[in-house]
Amino acid sequence: MTQQEQILFACIDNCCYFKLSGELRYTNATGMDDLVERLFSRQLQCKQVVVDLNAVSFMDSTYIGLLASLARYCQQQQLPRPTLFSTHTEVNELLFGLCLDQAFDIVQKPTKQTPDMAGISAQPYSELQQGQMILRAHEALIALHDNNLAAFAPVVELLKQQLK
pLDDT digits (tens, 9 = 90+) for 92-144: 999 999 999 999 999 999 988 778 899 999 999 999 999 999 999 999 999 99
pLDDT in tens, 54-107: 999 999 999 999 999 999 999 998 999 999 999 999 999 999 999 999 999 999
Q: Which amino acid is at 114?
A: T
Instruction: Please determine, for residue 4, whether its predicted confidence score (pLDDT) is greater than 70.
Output: no
Tell me the CATH number at 97: 3.30.750.24
- Measured CA to CA in angstroms, residue 68 lies from 4, 72, 84, 90, 115 at distances of 23, 6, 11, 18, 23
In a domain, 122, yes or no: yes
Amino acid letter, 75: Q
Residue 1 lies in a domain: no
Whether pLDDT at 156 is above 50? yes
pLDDT band at 3 (very low <50, low <70, confident <90, very high): very low
Residue pair 80/45 in contact (Cβ under 8 Å)? The answer is: no
Strand partners, 154: none
The count of domains in the chain is 1
